[in-house]
Amino acid sequence: MLKQSGYYRFPTINGNQVVFVCEDDLWSIPASGGVPVRLTANLGEVSRPFLSPDGTNLAFIGREEGHMEVYHSTARRPTPKRERQEDYGRRSLSIILKAIRLASG
């Protein structure tokens, strides 16, 4: 078995899905093991992913333009959308607030 080392940070888990940060991008892997799948390939750093309680949504902090911003997407194959303050009421506020709380903590 091939062992790979790296830095794996900020894991979040829901059911059999684990999302974590490595190489400043988000990755997903089944909790039972397998091959990780890169979910993001950004120019900026990402951190503090959070899976929704039902496992269908993902919120995280991105620094595409240097400052912290909340991004929201589906958990399986995200196409992240930057959350603007006026959009917070239209999304799952609990997911966004959790991401903000974790990022500032």
Taking the domains of the chain in order of start, what are their residue ranges?
Answer: 9-104
Exposed, middle or buried, 34 (CB in 10 Å: 0-12/13-18/19+)? Answer: exposed
Identify the H or E element spanning 102: helix 93-104
pTM of the predicted model, to two decimals?
0.73
pLDDT on residue 95: 59
pLDDT on residue 76: 66
Cβ-proximal residues to 31 (8 Å cutoff; 6+ apart), any chain: 13, 15, 16, 17, 18
Q: Strand 69-74 relative to strand 81-82: parallel, antiparallel, unpaired? A: antiparallel
Mean pLDDT of 76-82: 69
Confidence grade of residue 20 (pLDDT, cut at 50, 70, 90): very high
Q: pLDDT for 26-77, tens place per residue?
A: 999 999 999 999 988 876 888 888 888 878 888 888 888 777 778 878 766 6
Tokens read off for 89: 């009421």
Please state, for a pLDDT cut of 70, what percent of the chain lies above it. 68
Average pLDDT of the residues of the chain: 76
More confident residue, 88 or 51: 51
Mean pLDDT of 84-94: 55
pLDDT at 104 over 90: no
